[in-house]
Amino acid sequence: MDVVSSYRTQAYLDYFYKYGVRPTLITHRWEVEQNGAWKYHQDNEEVLKIENPSHTIFRLPRPRSQKPKNKFLSKLHTAWHLLVGNIDIELIQSYKVFKKFLFNHLNENTYDAVLAIYHPHYGLKLAYEIHQKFGLPYVLDFRDLWNNEIVTKRYWPSITQKMIDLTIRRHWRKWLKSSLYFSSTSQLWNHYLADLSRQEGIIVRNGYENLFIAEAREQKDGVFRLTYFGRIYREQNLQPIIEGINLFLARKPDAEFVVELIGIKSVVGFNGAHEFEKLIRKENLSIRPSMPKRELLAYCLEFSTMFILPNFIEDNGQFKVKLYDYVALGKPTLACPDNSSDSIAMLKEVHGGFLASTKEEVCEHIRSQYEVFKQLGYLPFRPAEEELRKYSREYQVRIQAERLKQDVA
């Protein structure tokens, strides 16, 4: 799957073997229909086994979810499964397929440990159940919380959501307490999970795939492009960046300047591109559709001048993976506001660009860089490579592998 969440799993497959760990991945048969949708299978369809020198993959059929059509029965169905730890209601059939395969497989094959990557929830539950039945030690690896806003001060859920959160917390606490340790991608999440479970956690970042820092090159069209790609969340603070851009344009209305948004998709009914469309004049705004990753990076390498990173209003533990790509593309990033997050710490550590907290600071950074760009045709920029190397996927996988071997030995 060519999605951000799959890159973490792929990194374990790519690099674990270098540090003395040979992984076996259990996943679905992610196959695409002619219409582009993910294909569903019957529960009893073939399991595909793929052997590689460094790892093994078992691809299990992907069953369609089953849920009562009656609304009352559906609510009872949801409540019951939530209470027993089947938190992903729409994935109960997948949980059953995975459990049947794993229990049969482990009756005949020996492993040293289990690594369960969240999301989905049933991976965490299965690691716990495998430990209960077979005695295998396990590690829980988090690239998200069930709701990242839960760690913020401004999180005020409804009564219903409070009950759901309490139930999920109870299950997570149980699953975490029996683990060897857990890992997550941010300090804030580690503190939250440690407080929840009294269990120890380590930081394993997502990282970038390859360290390729592009050399600064001249942009032949002379247009200063301020670029953002990927998702925009409702919780991101867009206001100071948008207001700073407009302040710059008010002071320099004839600037050859474009804000370029690429592949912005709606997230829970929120489309961030619309927020830019409301406030930035059309001649200074370009909205492009999604591109395959390689095409996107090649395009940005050629045409982007500087990247923007609107931070979350309050640090919620999310580390924007696009920041790795921004830095590696050899272009500076303008981040705003300073929310004291791990992303901001990384930007400072690798000298990855500029940090602003107000619209005036945003405007001034854009103005100063625009003048440099107009003189040279590009922005001179070079991050701190030695510091950046610590954020590679391979470096981060090594952290996981060394801790895993230490605790399993």
- The set of long-range contacts for 322-325, using a CB threshold of 8 Å and a minimum separation of 24, is 322/229, 322/230, 323/347, 323/352, 324/206, 324/207, 324/208, 324/391, 325/208, 325/297, 325/300
Mean pLDDT, rounded, for 323-329: 85
Q: Are residues 404 and 381 in the same domain?
A: no
Res 49 pLDDT > 80 = yes
Q: Are residues 22 and 140 in the same domain?
A: yes
**Which has more confidence, 306 or 84?**
306
Tokens 């001179």 sit at which residue? 380
Q: Are residues 46 and 183 in the same domain?
A: yes
Task: Report the SS3 class of residue 255.
Answer: coil
Q: Are residues 247 and 184 in the same domain?
A: no
Res 74 pLDDT > 80 = no
Highest mean pLDDT, choosing among 86-90, 254-258, 268-272: 254-258
Query: pTM (2 decimals)?
Result: 0.87
Token representation of residue 304:
């982007």
Q: Are residues 27 and 61 in the same domain?
A: yes
Domain count, the chain: 2
**Which has more confidence, 142 or 322?**
142
In angstroms, the first-to-last Cα distance of the chain is 33
Range of the domain at 268: 224-389
**What DSSP string describes 162-175?**
HHHHHHHHHHHHHH
Q: Which helix (H) or strand (E) holds 12?
A: helix 4-15
Confidence of residue 21 (pLDDT cuts 50, 70, 90): very high
Confidence of residue 72 (pLDDT cuts 50, 70, 90): low
Task: Report the SS3 class of residue 211.
Answer: coil
Mean pLDDT, rounded, for 302-312: 94
**Which has more confidence, 170 or 36?**
170
- Within-domain flag for 219: no
Res 2 pLDDT > 70 = no
Q: How many C-beta neighbours within 10 Å does residue 148 have?
A: 20
